[in-house]
Amino acid sequence: MTNQPSTPQFLFLFRHPVGVPDPSPEEMQKSFEKWMGWINGLKSSGACLASGRLTDEAHVLRGKRAPTTTDGPFVEGKEVIGGYLLVTAPDFAAANEMAAQCPGLEGIYSVEVRPIQSR
């Protein structure tokens, strides 16, 4: 059995600031439609392997040097991760080009693109 090279995978993490006023229902609907159009396009091309929104509830475990635990939501944070996509792309540059099309970049979101280390 030979090891076949796999297509690189990347994680897109969507961050937004805490404490920003909620958009109007009309703005939310328009934004939702843009997001779904972008995500569905990635899915139909085969680039998106998984996606999801994250809740505000969380629990952070810390190592021996910082033995405290914290339950969320984390109101002391300046931004939160609101969701993720797991995608495939030929390389890091292509993944960044994909992420640059995120509709959230028109507003308050940022997208962190992280390569997933292959074994």
- Over residues 33-45, mean pLDDT: 96
Please, which pLDDT band fits residue 4 given cuts at 50, 70 and 90?
very low
Query: CB of 10 within 8 A of CB of 96?
Result: no
Please, which pLDDT band fits residue 1 given cuts at 50, 70 and 90?
very low
For the entire predicted model, the pTM comes to 0.80
Query: What stretches of the chain adopt beta strand conformation (E)?
Result: 9-17, 48-53, 59-60, 70-71, 79-88, 110-115
Please, which pLDDT band fits residue 18 given cuts at 50, 70 and 90?
confident
What is the separation, in whole angstroms, between the first and last Cα of the chain?
16
Residue tagged 């059995």 (tokens): 1
What is the residue extent of each domain of the chain?
9-55+79-115
pLDDT beyond 90 at 62 = no
Q: What is the CATH number of domain 9-55+79-115?
A: 3.30.70.1060
